[in-house]
C-alpha cells in the first residue's frame, strides 16, 4: 500500500525551499502527497523559530495537526525549531513522534522488513537530539541544499543559493542553529532552476549578497553578480530577496537592473546610527537615502522593500522619530515593521539582561501603529501613481498577476482579466488601485468584491 505524506510549512521563503526539497525526497522514496493531513501516514511540520510569535504559531500548528492525523500515523517536527530546540521539543511535546533537524540529515522513509513496513529516519532521534555547538558541527552528508526539486506548481519559485550566515547581528539567533554560511555551486543552482521550469526565479538566502565569500578560492566576493547573470540567461525573471545594504555594490545594482526586475529588498532594520551599532549593523539613514536615490536615478522604475525592528533595546523617542522621518523621505513601495523579540543567546538579550533601555510592550505597539499607518498611506499613494500606466505582468493564478514591483506572497498583486492564461506574461493597462493591489482594464470590480466575501 502506498504511503501518503502531508507537509505544513511555516516561516520564510527559505523554509518553502527546504520543504520542496523534502517533498522531492519523499516522492523519490515512493510516497504520495496529500493535501489532507487527516489522510496522511506521515505528517511533517517545517517550523520557524525566528521570533517568539513564530514559535507560538509553530507549536499551535503542531498541536492542531496532532488532533487531525490518523491513528498510527507519524508526526515529525523539523526546521528551525527542531534545529534550535530539539531536546526541549522532544521533552515537552509527547504528541510528536520525532524531532529531526535538517542538520542531522533528516530523511524519513519506509522500508520492508520481514514483510512489515517500518518507519526509519536517517539522523535525528525519536527522543530528541543533543544540539551540537555550531563551531563543532560537521556539515551533514544529507544536505537539503543539494537535493533535487520537483517542477514548480506555480509560474515562479524560490531558489536558496546558500545556507547559514556569518554575520553577528545583535537581534538574530539564526547563525547559532543554521550555522556559518555555505554557498552552493553555480552549476547546482542552475540545475535546480532547470528542474523547476518556472518563469520567475526568486533567489533567497540568509545573506544573499555575501554569496561566494565563504569559498574564496572558487568564487569569492562579488560572486552574486555572475550568478544573477547566469540565472537571468535561463529564465524570464530573476528577483532577489534579503540584500544587506553594505554589499549593495554598483555592479550588483547594475546586474539587478539589467535583469528587467529592478526590485530591491534591502535589509535595513533601522536608520538611527547609534541604534544600528547596538544592533551590530552597518549604515545609517542618510547612507540608505543616498543609495536609494542613486538607484532611482539609474532606474526610475525601481521598486523598494525593507523591514524594520521596533523597540530594540535602547531605542529612544529620538531614534523612533528618525525612523518616521526616513519612512516619509524614502517613500518605499513596501515596508514591514516588527516588534523586537528577545532571543536567548543574542547580544541584544544580554542588553536586556543588563536592563539597558528595555522598551515597554505598549510603547512598541504605539510606535508600530504609527509607522504602519504612515507606510500604508505611502504604499497606497505609490500604487495610485501607477493608474494609467501599462505594465507587463506574470499571471500566477486565474485573474491574478504580478509586475516587477510585486514579490510573490509578500506584496500586493495585479488583478487581470480572467481570459489571461496562467503562467503567461501579458501587457495590461492599470485602471484602478485598491490599497496595495492594482486593477487592470477588463476586470469587473464587482467580481473582486464577490471574491473578498467568499
Give domain 144-384's CATH superfamily: tm_1862 like domain (3.80.30.20)
- Answer yes or no: is pLDDT of 31 > 50: yes
Between 20 and 237, the higher pLDDT residue: 237
| Biggest CA pair distance of the chain | 71
Contact 106, 77 (CB under 8 A): no
Q: What are phi and psi of 433, to 5 degrees?
A: -135, 135
Please state, in angstroms and rounded to a whole number, the distance separating the CA atoms of residues 72 and 74: 7
pLDDT band at 106 (very low <50, low <70, confident <90, very high): very low
Class of domain 4-136: alpha beta
- pTM of the predicted model, to two decimals? 0.80
pLDDT at 127: 32
Contact 54, 21 (CB under 8 A): no
State which fold the 390-453 domain adopts.
OB fold (Dihydrolipoamide Acetyltransferase, E2P) (2.40.50)
Average pLDDT over residues 312-322: 97
How far CA 454 is from CA of 23, 448, 449, in Å, comes to 31, 10, 9
- Answer yes or no: is pLDDT of 232 > 60: yes
- Answer yes or no: is pLDDT of 141 > 60: no
pLDDT band at 450 (very low <50, low <70, confident <90, very high): low
pLDDT at 272: 98
pLDDT at 178: 79
Please state, in angstroms and rounded to a whole number, the distance separating the CA atoms of residues 133 and 355: 28
pLDDT at 144: 62
- Would you tell me how many other CB atoms lie within 10 Å of the CB of residue 437? 16
Average pLDDT over residues 144-159: 84
Q: For residue range 180-219, list pLDDT tens digits in order.
A: 999 999 999 999 999 999 999 999 999 999 999 999 999 9
Q: For residue range 348-402, list pLDDT tens digits in order.
A: 999 999 888 899 999 999 999 999 999 999 999 999 999 999 999 999 999 999 9
Which residue's entry shows cell 544540539?
Answer: 131
Domain boundaries, the chain: 4-136, 144-384, 390-453
pLDDT band at 257 (very low <50, low <70, confident <90, very high): very high
Q: For residue range 32-90, list pLDDT tens digits in order.
A: 989 999 999 999 998 887 677 778 888 899 999 999 998 889 998 888 887 777 777 77
Residue percentage of the chain with pLDDT more than 90: 64
Amino acid at each position: 500500500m502506498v504511503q501518503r505524506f502531508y507537509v505544513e510549512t511555516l516561516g520564510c521563503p527559505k523554509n518553502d525551499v527546504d520543504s520542496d526539497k523534502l517533498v522531492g525526497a519523499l516522492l523519490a522514496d515512493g510516497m504520495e502527497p496529500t493535501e489532507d493531513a487527516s489522510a496522511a501516514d506521515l505528517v511533517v511540520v517545517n517550523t520557524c523559530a525566528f521570533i517568539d510569535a513564530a514559535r507560538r504559531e509553530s507549536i499551535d500548528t503542531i498541536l492542531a495537526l496532532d488532533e487531525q492525523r490518523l491513528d498510527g500515523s507519524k508526526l515529525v517536527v523539523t526546521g528551525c525549531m527542531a534545529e534550535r530546540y530539539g531536546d526541549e521539543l522532544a521533552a515537552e511535546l509527547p504528541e510528536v513522534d520525532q524531532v529531526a533537524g535538517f542538520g542531522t540529515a533528516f530523511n524519513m522513509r519506509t522500508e520492508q522488513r520481514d514483510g512489515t513496513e517500518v518507519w526509519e529516519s536517517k539522523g535525528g532521534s525519536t527522543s530528541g537530539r543533543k544540539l551540537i555547538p555550531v563551531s563543532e558541527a560537521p556539515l551533514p552528508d544529507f544536505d537539503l541544499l543539494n537535493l533535487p526539486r520537483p517542477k514548480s506548481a506555480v509560474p515562479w519559485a524560490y531558489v536558496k543559493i546558500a545556507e547559514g550566515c556569518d554575520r553577528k547581528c545583535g537581534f538574530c539567533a539564526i547563525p547559532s542553529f543554521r550555522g556559518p554560511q555555505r554557498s552552493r555551486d553555480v552549476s547546482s543552482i542552475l540545475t535546480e532552476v532547470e528542474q523547476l521550469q518556472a518563469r520567475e526565479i526568486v533567489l533567497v538566502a540568509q545573506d544573499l549578497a555575501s554569496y561566494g565569500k565563504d569559498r574564496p578560492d572558487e568564487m569569492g566576493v562579488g560572486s552574486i553578480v555572475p550568478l544573477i547573470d547566469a540565472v537571468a540567461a535561463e529564465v524570464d525573471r530573476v528577483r532577489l530577496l534579503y540584500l544587506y545594504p553594505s554589499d549593495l555594490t554598483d555592479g550588483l545594482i547594475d546586474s539587478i537592473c539589467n535583469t528587467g526586475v529592478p526590485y530591491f529588498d534591502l535589509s535595513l532594520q533601522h536608520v538611527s546610527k547609534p541604534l544600528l551599532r547596538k544592533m551590530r549593523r552597518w549604515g545609517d539613514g542618510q547612507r540608505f537615502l543616498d543609495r536609494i536615490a542613486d538607484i532611482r536615478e539609474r532606474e526610475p522604475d525601481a521598486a523598494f522593500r525593507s523591514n524594520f525592528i521596533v523597540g530594540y533595546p535602547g531605542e529612544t523617542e529620538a531614534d523612533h522619530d528618525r525612523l518616521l522621518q526616513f519612512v516619509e523621505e524614502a517613500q518605499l513601495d513596501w515596508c514591514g515593521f516588527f516588534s523586537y523579540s528577545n532571543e536567548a543567546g543574542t547580544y541584544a538579550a544580554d542588553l536586556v539582561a543588563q536592563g539597558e533601555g528595555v522598551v515597554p510592550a505598549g510603547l512598541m505597539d504605539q510606535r508600530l501603529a504609527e509607522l504602519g499607518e504612515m507606510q500604508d498611506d505611502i504604499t497606497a499613494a505609490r500604487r495610485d501613481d501607477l493608474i494609467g500606466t501599462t505594465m507587463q505582468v506574470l499571471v500566477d493564478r486565474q485573474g491574478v498577476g504580478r509586475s516587477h514591483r510585486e514579490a510573490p506572497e509578500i506584496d500586493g498583486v495585479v488583478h487581470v482579466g480572467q481570459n489571461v492564461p496562467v503562467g503567461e506574461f501579458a501587457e495590461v493597462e492599470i485602471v484602478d488601485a485598491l490599497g496595495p493591489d492594482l486593477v487592470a482594464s477588463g476586470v469587473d470590480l464587482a467580481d473582486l468584491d464577490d471574491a473578498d466575501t467568499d
